């Protein structure tokens, strides 16, 4: 008689570090990277352009889900002014500790809460606007999170999402085939949905939001700024650990950028998609 096959269910941890930041060996570097990215001039421009597109106005109550170190919260606090309020939620203790240092909550208009985007710790209709900036890429069930964001937004209020899209990157390099292998291959291993940016308008509509609008923007760097350098180095390290290239090839790829930067021929671009919808009244 054949014995029944036992089904073994094994929870495989995601390779995406932002899914469970607190358990990462390089948590301090990831946190520092958020601040470095947030301060890069093109990032400042495209983030603020998106916040104006939402639009965020003086006096509003605004929630950011997946607030990280508070790069966006600080901009929001300046936009909503003394009469407004800004709340940041994140599921990482470590990143919220950094946000507490950097945002000085309590003294300004910023409040920080530990929480999961899929179960927000707020009553329905509390916020004029609820935002998720470069977070949808990292959550296991984006639609569940968007439904939660819509629940805590007042009728007539806005839900806004902005994400980069790893299928829309351009970079100069003497070996384009190797560049494709690394820059296309790594996000496929790292994220369930590496092209999350272009999905945002559909996600908002699926969650029942109306009057959905899209703003496409481009991050660009021609000097290999510190954040871009770290980003490319991390892609090279991941390409080795995912078995896409060996270590000498990854190093050769990184070295390939050096001469381009010196010659003023380095270009790195990445599309950002920002989508906003209105909660029906
Ligand atoms: C790439 S960071 C973006 C931080 C910030 N929005 C910014 O643009 O600087 C993504 C953040 O989302 C948080 N995060 C990921 N999944 C989450 C979830 N399900 N609930 C709450 N926060 C989450 C991570 O801990 C991390 O701080």
Confidence check: pLDDT of 108 > 80 = no
Query: CB under 6 Å to ligand 1: residues?
Result: 18, 21, 34, 38, 65-68, 71-72, 89-92, 95, 116-118, 133-135, 138-139
pLDDT band of residue 85 (cuts 50, 70, 90) is very high
Mean pLDDT of 57-82: 96
Residue in the block written with tokens 């806004």: 160
Q: In the prediction, which pLDDT does 193 show?
A: 87
Length of the chain (residues): 281
Residue 53 near residue 76 (C-beta atoms within 8 A) = no
Distance CA 167, CA 188 (A): 10
Query: How far does residue 1's CA lie from ligand 1's centre (Å)?
Result: 52
Query: How far does residue 7's CA lie from ligand 1's centre (Å)?
Result: 34
Mutate to test the pocket of ligand 1, among 16, 43, 68 (most ligand atoms within 8 A of CB): 68
Residue in the block written with tokens 């639009």: 55
Report pLDDT digits (tens) over 39-63: 999 999 999 999 999 999 999 999 9
Report pLDDT digits (tens) over 172-224: 999 999 999 999 999 999 998 899 999 999 999 999 999 999 999 999 999 99
Distance CA 53, CA 276 (A): 8
Mutate to test the pocket of ligand 1, among 72, 119, 136, 138 (most ligand atoms within 8 A of CB): 138
Closest CA to 231 of 194, 182, 193: 182
Q: Which atom of ligand 1 is nearest to the CA of 117?
A: 20
Q: In the prediction, which pLDDT does 1 show?
A: 46
Q: Which two tokens stand for residue 16?
A: 């995406």
Report pLDDT digits (tens) over 92-101: 999 999 999 9
Query: How far does residue 107's CA lie from ligand 1's centre (Å)?
Result: 23
Report pLDDT digits (tens) over 130-163: 999 999 999 999 999 999 999 999 999 999 999 9
Distance CA 172, CA 223 (A): 12
Q: Where is 187: in which H helix or E strand?
A: helix 176-190
CA dihedral 111, 147, 33, 104 (to 10 degrees): 0
Q: Which two tokens stand for residue 5?
A: 């096959």
Phi-psi region at 51: left, alpha or beta (left = phi > 0; alpha = psi -120 to 50): alpha
Q: Which two tokens stand for residue 221?
A: 């760097």
Distance CA 248, CA 103 (A): 42
Q: Which atom of ligand 1 is nearest to the CA of 37?
A: 9
Residue in the block written with tokens 């946190």: 31
Closest CA to 35 of 62, 12, 80, 68: 68
Query: How far does residue 265's CA lie from ligand 1's centre (Å)?
Result: 33
Instruction: Tell me the pLDDT of the chain averaged across its residues.
Output: 93
Confidence check: pLDDT of 8 > 70 = no
Query: How far does residue 174's CA lie from ligand 1's centre (Å)?
Result: 34
Q: Which residue minimizes the CA distance to atom 26 of ligand 1?
A: 68
pLDDT band of residue 12 (cuts 50, 70, 90) is low
Confidence check: pLDDT of 107 > 80 = no
Report pLDDT digits (tens) over 182-193: 999 999 999 988
Order of strands, sheet of 110-114, starting from the edge strand that comes earlier in the sequence: 110-114, 85-90, 61-65, 127-133, 153-171, 268-278, 210-221
Q: Which residue minimizes the CA distance to atom 14 of ligand 1?
A: 66
Closest CA to 34 of 68, 6, 2, 72: 68
pLDDT band of residue 3 (cuts 50, 70, 90) is low
Q: In the prediction, which pLDDT does 220 show?
A: 94
pLDDT over 90 for what percent of the chain?
88
Contact residues for 15 (Cβ-Cβ < 8 A; gap 6+): 189, 190
pLDDT band of residue 109 (cuts 50, 70, 90) is confident
Q: Which residue minimizes the CA distance to atom 27 of ligand 1?
A: 68
Query: How far does residue 260's CA lie from ligand 1's centre (Å)?
Result: 33
Q: Which two tokens stand for residue 220?
A: 């660009």
């Amino acid at each position: 008689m054949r014995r029944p096959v036992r089904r073994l269910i094994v929870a495989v941890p995601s390779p995406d570090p932002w899914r469970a930041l607190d358990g990462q060996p390089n948590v301090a570097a990831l946190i520092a990277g958020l601040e470095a990215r947030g301060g890069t001039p093109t990032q400042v421009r495209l983030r603020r352009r998106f916040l104006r597109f939402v639009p965020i106005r003086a006096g509003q109550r605004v929630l950011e889900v997946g607030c990280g170190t508070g790069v966006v919260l600080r901009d929001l606090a300046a936009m909503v002014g003394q009469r407004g309020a800004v709340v940041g939620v994140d599921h990482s203790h470590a990143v919220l500790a950094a946000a507490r240092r950097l945002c000085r909550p309590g003294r300004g208009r910023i409040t920080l809460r530990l929480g999961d985007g899929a179960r927000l710790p707020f009553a329905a209709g509390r916020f004029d606007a609820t935002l998720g900036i470069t977070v949808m890429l990292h959550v296991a069930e984006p639609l569940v999170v968007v439904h939660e964001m819509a629940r805590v937004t007042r009728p007539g209020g806005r839900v806004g999402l902005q994400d980069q899209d790893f299928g829309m990157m351009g970079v100069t390099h003497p070996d384009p085939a190797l560049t494709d292998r690394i820059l296309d291959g790594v996000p496929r291993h790292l994220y369930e949905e590496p092209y999350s940016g272009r999905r945002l308008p559909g996600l908002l509509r699926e969650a029942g939001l109306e009057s959905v609008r899209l703003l496409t923007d481009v991050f660009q760097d021609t000097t290999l700024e510190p954040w871009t350098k770290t980003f490319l180095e991390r892609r090279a390290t991941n390409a080795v650990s995912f078995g896409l290239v060996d270590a000498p090839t990854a190093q050769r790829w990184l070295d390939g950028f050096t001469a381009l930067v010196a010659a003023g021929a380095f270009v790195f671009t990445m599309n950002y998609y920002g989508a906003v919808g209105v909660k029906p009244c």
